[in-house]
Structure 1
Amino acid sequence: MADNVRRVAVISLGGTIAMTAQTDGSATPTLSADDLIAAVPGLADTGIQVEVRDFRRLPGASLSFSDLFELAATIETLEVNGVVVTQGTDTIEETAYLLDLVTTGDMPIVVTGAMRNASMAGADGPANVLAAIRTAASAEARGTGCVVVFGEEIHAARWVRKTHATSPMAFTSYPGPIGYVAEDRVRILARPDAAPTINRHSATTSVRTTVFTVGIGDDGTLLQALGDHVDGLVVAAFGAGHVPMACVDTLTDLAKRMPVILATRTGSGPVLRQTYGFPGSESDLLARGLISGSTLDPVKARILLQLLVMTGSDKDQIAQVFSTVS
């Protein structure tokens, strides 16, 4: 094989992109990685050599941390120019950010999927796979960290979010895509700062963290009950980091017992530090021991928190890592 041949590994985890309609009309994962690649028009014209691997055939909602750690280990063994992971869209943003945190090196790792299964009119899987393979094979994408490619847009793992339940353009990010694919060319417009690196090899899976989204009228009762069953908590707070006054005492207590991350339920923008001063404001909660999630949305903050707790980090170490997230 010539040295200039670009090689990409495509690893299939299942999800809508690998689903077909059954006799009862419901869709379930049935397509192999070979099936997915065979359905991509124009792939042979790219000159990219594709290596396919069936890794899982699961809905995105059923993937586990153990699955993703094993996936990261598999990626590390591959001698290719880039990797494409196909999976269910429900958890693409979580998979992408976890891989961003636990893998190292400049090789592009691209996560993609489909909103319409292969039996539907206008199935988007083949186009997404082709754009993802082009991105994974490109020199331009090296050093960008893990990315999500959808609708020919390239999104950084730490910013991307699924923001629509059914639209083929469900994936968006703030401040926007870092690049796109057009006329067979990968164009990178921005490069995010490197993510913290978490050593997954020391991780234990017997850890529970979760996200609690505050709402009008919350009085701390549910927070208190939840605190008895988790090792760490992300609070998806109002606005720039605010909660009802009735929750303050409970959060103060929980922050003494475990790491509690303060994030914004808006999904975009920063948690402030000193703009508001009322009980339950961001400055009040940070003074009570909560840790700022900075600009991480609650889902990403939970992934980072989970990995840090799994690898034995204490509260001070967790606060230090979160302080590096811009």
Structure 2
Amino acid sequence: MSVALFTLGGTISMAGSHRLTGEDLTTAIPGVSELAVEIQDVEKIPSGDLTAAKLLEVVDAASKAVTAGAAGAVVTQGTDTLEESTFLADLVWPHPQPLVFTGAMRNPTLAGPDGPANLLAALRVASSPAARDLGALVVFKEEIHAARWVRKTHSTSTATFQSPNTGPIGHVVEDQVRILTRPLRLDGVQGSAEPAALDATRVALYTVTMDDDGVLLRGVADTHQGLVVAGFGVGHVPSALAPVLGELADRIPVVLTSRTGAGSIVRTTYRSPGSETDLLGRGLVDAGFLDPYKARILLRLLLATNEDIALAFEQYV
């Protein structure tokens, strides 16, 4: 069976002023000839310019490919937004076949580019029966990460993709896909997000800082349909900010996350003004183990599809 490969540009395809195609990428990899790869070059887009609508187009094309018989699909893109792309894809991916995202931190003109090894490992994972029923995955440095946990943790290291709360769920060892743990597939988002609905849905992300007076939040409910707050630690904000967030939660959905990068929001440990108990009591939604970037992806998709927000976030608590 074949694997469908979709290329979206990024560092993995940057060879000076020349942008490598999917054929360029695969023919340069020793060992790839044993895999049947069907290539679709999409667009060469810097990952910072990727939109949710464009990514969902690619996911739809990958869905059609596996429905037509592909064993799985691989998407190459820039790493800057790869963790967000993978989680968005995971929320809407309905198939048991794996959908694997990968890229590179070192472009092909540098000594020791990591793209070829990452792509080969991703293709092996996408073609492996062992990787079925795991949803969307990130494969980097022969590690396999689940979409809802993976983070880009370093600006330059080739080991940038980590899952701080869990570690990788598997590895590629001697060309074999080894799955060590199988996380439960969650419900995802059931509705279909139309491009126009996504374009009309704006969700702000606000990171709380020391001495924060909340002045930047003025008017956010007039311009956005939702807000994600990255609070201190287990979900705290300065006490003066609590009523501001409570008033916003009366107008738009406000989701509470942690800015720390690992761990979850708690619910009942602290009770002072600005604590997690206070904020949840004011109507904020607990994002659990979701980091702020993924919480924003989920909230935007839920708003665009008119689905139950509290019920969807409850899965991550």
Q: Is the 8 A contact 1:100 1:195 kept in 2?
A: no
Residues 47-103 of structure 1: CA deviation (Å, up to 9, x unaligned) = 221111101210111100110111121111112001010000001101111111011
Could you say which residue in structure 2 is the equivalent of 1:161?
A: 151
Q: Report the secondary structure of 2:96's partner residue.
A: coil
CA–CA separation in structure 1 for the residues paired with 2:9 and 2:62: 17
Pairing 1:61-210 to 2, within 5 Å after superposition: 61-78=48-65, 79-173=69-163, 174-203=165-194, 204-205=197-198, 206-210=200-204
Amino acid in the other structure paired with 1:68: L
CA–CA separation in structure 2 for the residues paired with 1:266 and 1:56: 34
Could you say which residue in structure 1 is the equivalent of 2:15?
A: 20
Could you say which residue in structure 1 is the equivalent of 2:266?
A: 272
Q: Is the 8 A contact 2:193 2:301 kept in 1?
A: no
Q: Report the secondary structure of 1:201's partner residue.
A: coil
Q: How many residue pairs get matched?
A: 310
Q: Is the 8 A contact 2:98 2:131 kept in 1?
A: yes
Instruction: Indicate whether 1:36 and 2:31 are aligned.
Output: no
Residues 127-183 of structure 1: CA deviation (Å, up to 9, x unaligned) = 000000000010110011111000000000000000000000000002100000011
Could you say which residue in structure 2 is the equivalent of 1:50?
A: 37
The CA RMSD over aligned residues, in Å, is 1.2
- Return the TM-score normalized by structure 2: 0.95
CA–CA separation in structure 2 for the residues paired with 1:188 and 1:231: 39
Q: Report the secondary structure of 2:267's partner residue.
A: coil
Q: Among residues 209, 232, 248, which one is paired with 1:238 in the alignment?
A: 232
Cα deviation for residue 200 of structure 1 reads 4.8
Could you say which residue in structure 2 is the equivalent of 1:3?
A: none
Q: Which deviates further from its counterpart, 261-270 or 34-43?
A: 34-43
CA–CA separation in structure 2 for the residues paired with 1:322 and 1:143: 21
Residues 195-250 of structure 1: CA deviation (Å, up to 9, x unaligned) = 22213524312110121000001111112243332110110000000001121111
Structure 1: segments with no counterpart, 5+ residues = 1-5, 23-28
Q: Percent identity?
A: 49
Could you say which residue in structure 2 is the equivalent of 1:25?
A: none
CA–CA separation in structure 2 for the residues paired with 1:254 and 1:62: 29
